[in-house]
Copies of this chain bind each other. A is one copy, B any other.
Amino acid sequence: MAESQLNATAAALLGLLHDGPMTGGQLMASAQRRLGPFWSMTRSQVYRELPALADAGFVRLGKPGPRASQPYAITAAGKRAFTKWLNEPLGRDQLRNPVTLRVAFGELHSAKQLRELYQEALEYHTTAMANARNAAKVASKEGDNYGSAALEFAVAYHKAALAWLKKLPS
């Protein structure tokens, strides 16, 4: 009822629900696929937001399916809230890179530690980039140009990380 402000997670869920009703699990999967590479989100969050969204009237419950799965559909009020959220001031980017944090204390590492760190980071970003690139291609094929563009951001991120790694003072 109360026109409570949406947090970004709730807004993302409402955005996804524009495609049609989904259960928590489906929302989670969809978020992982479409937003995961540049917007982290956990199961716990999804299952906490959904009842809250229902309370606020932004989402309507469908008939429970198998395994207590519960479909949710966006309501008119939900669409309004989502549209309003689009105009809200942007929060800051959130960036926490554990490799960089360790590099910042590089003097306190042994050479061996640094080498292992480097190697691990290389592998991590390489596969993450491949995943993002793949997801972007899929989205593109589905005609979702905006979704694809968003995923390309993640690709650019990992690419930048790789380039940075290769210039590191070793």
Contacts and interface: CB of A to CB of B under 8 A. Distances in A.
Q: Please classify the interface of chain A as helix (H, G, I), strand (E, B), loop, or mixed, using the class held by over half of its residues.
A: helix
B120 A90 contact: yes
Q: How large is the interface on A (under 10, 10 to 19, 20 to 34, 35 or more residues)?
A: 35 or more
Interface in A98-126: 98-109, 113, 117, 120-121, 124
Number of copies: 2
Interface in A113-170: 113, 117, 120-121, 124, 128, 145-147, 149-154, 156-157, 159-161, 163-164, 167-169
A44 interface: no
A35 B98 CA distance: 11
B98 A146 contact: no
B39 A101 contact: yes
A160 B35 CA distance: 18
Contacts of A18: 105, 108
Interface of A: 8, 11-12, 15, 18, 34-35, 37-40, 82-83, 86-87, 90-109, 113, 117, 120-121, 124, 128, 145-147, 149-154, 156-157, 159-161, 163-164, 167-169
9 contacts: A15-B105, A39-B101, A40-B95, A92-B98, A100-B153, A103-B150, A152-B167, A156-B160, A157-B157
